[in-house]
Amino acid sequence: MNTKNHAVTLSEPACALVEAVVASGRYADFSAAVQDAVWRQFMGERAVFDEYGVTPAEVERSAQRDLAAIRKDRKAGKLKAWSPL
């Protein structure tokens, strides 16, 4: 899938909401959160999932399993702190 860059201005409340969702770990970055919101608003809830042949429930279950594994590894001290170059 090709992507295009666009400059978008958001209101303060909308920006704060997107930043909070990203901080929760649900999305990798601001762009991913905004893209998902656009898909849901204009294409419908299932469109992005249909594109990849999965259901929203499958994606949510997978995400919860991954987050649980990360929490478990973090508690066990198996994760190294990330630092840029």
pLDDT at 48: 67
Closest CA to 45 of 53, 79, 37, 78: 37
| Other Cβ atoms closer than 10 A to 12 | 7
Whether this model's pTM surpasses 0.75: no
Reading the block at residue 29, the tokens are: 């970055």
Spans of all domains in the chain: 10-44, 46-77
For the chain, give the percent of residues with pLDDT over 90.
33
How confident is the model at residue 45, as a pLDDT?
Answer: 66
Q: List pLDDT tens digits, range 8-23.
A: 898 999 999 999 989 9
